[in-house]
Amino acid sequence: MAYLGEPATTVPQPRTSGNGTEHSGPWLFARAAGGGTDGPAGAVLFGRDGTLLQDVSYNGDPAMVRPMTGVRAALAALRGAGFALGVVSNQPGVARGLIGHRHVEAVQDRAEALLGAFDVWAVCPHGPYDGCRCRMPAPTLVTAACEALGLPPSRVTVIACSDSVVAAALTAGAHAIRVPDAIQPATAPYPPCTLATCRSAAGPAQAADLLMRRLPVPATAARTLMS
């Protein structure tokens, strides 16, 4: 996977204000586009921590990577239906000096070993007071991932448990599906998303099902989703 972005400084720097402008953009890791003439059916971007992977604060250890429940079924169904797949993630641990570029890559590599390849990863390496333009809820990570995939945001859906990720998707012009975060009991009813035009689902597999109801789905993909 090609690394397309420039890393930010990983050693915490003194802050004089929260609106600085001297920052690198997001880190982008992307695979070459496929050779199909029609391109993907669309794309689905997942929030990383708490949606795709269990949320471990500032995790840079591949041994601690665990997929969330329902993710494998969702990914198998979406791949079978022809969607490109990606991940968007704020990683403020980089700005705090707790993890670095190699740790972010190591976690991504382990996630792909467990879940299969993703077409793009878009990561904000800044902290909440860095004044960058890529930290969600800003839309930059979503738009950067869309550009790397060669798709307009209107053909992209973001699945996430975080309001900031959902807001980034909607601001970018993409679709969004909100799933519960890990602290909510799986058996509890999940309330409708309160953000405009955002749908909600009980988990990643149901979110994938909502997407695939809108286009013909290969029988093998449907069986995978229901298993």
Question: Tell me: the pLDDT tens digits for 103-157?
Answer: 999 999 999 999 999 999 999 999 999 999 999 999 999 999 999 999 999 999 9
d(CA 152, CA 177): 18
What pLDDT score does 12 carry? 32
d(CA 209, CA 134): 30
Neighbouring CB atoms inside 10 A of 131's CB total 16
DSSP 3-state of 199: strand
- What are 22-78's pLDDT values in tens digits? 357 899 999 876 545 567 879 999 999 999 999 999 999 999 999 999 999 999 999
Quote the tokens at residue 143: 């738009």
Do 115 and 71 form a contact (C-beta atoms < 8 A)? yes
DSSP 3-state of 127: coil
- What are 86-101's pLDDT values in tens digits? 999 999 999 999 999 9
What pLDDT score does 223 carry? 36
Do 140 and 123 form a contact (C-beta atoms < 8 A)? no
User: Taking all residues of the chain, what is their mean pLDDT, rounded to a whole number?
Assistant: 82
d(CA 97, CA 7): 13
CATH class of the structural domain 23-31+41-226: alpha beta
The residue ranges of every structural domain in the chain are: 23-31+41-226
Among 150, 201, 149, residue whose Cα is nearest residue 180: 201
Among 103, 70, 105, residue whose Cα is nearest residue 87: 105
- pLDDT-derived band at 211 (thresholds 50, 70, 90) equals confident
Do 115 and 72 form a contact (C-beta atoms < 8 A)? yes
Instruction: Say if residue 57 is exposed, middle or buried (CB neighbours under 10 Å; 0-12, 13-18, 19+).
Output: exposed
Helices (H) and strands (E) in the chain, counts: 7, 8
d(CA 160, CA 200): 10
Decide if pLDDT at 197 tops 70.
no
- What are 145-172's pLDDT values in tens digits? 999 999 999 999 999 999 999 999 999 9
Sign of the Cα pseudo-torsion (173, 33, 40, 226, in order): negative
d(CA 44, CA 25): 22
Decide if pLDDT at 190 tops 70.
no
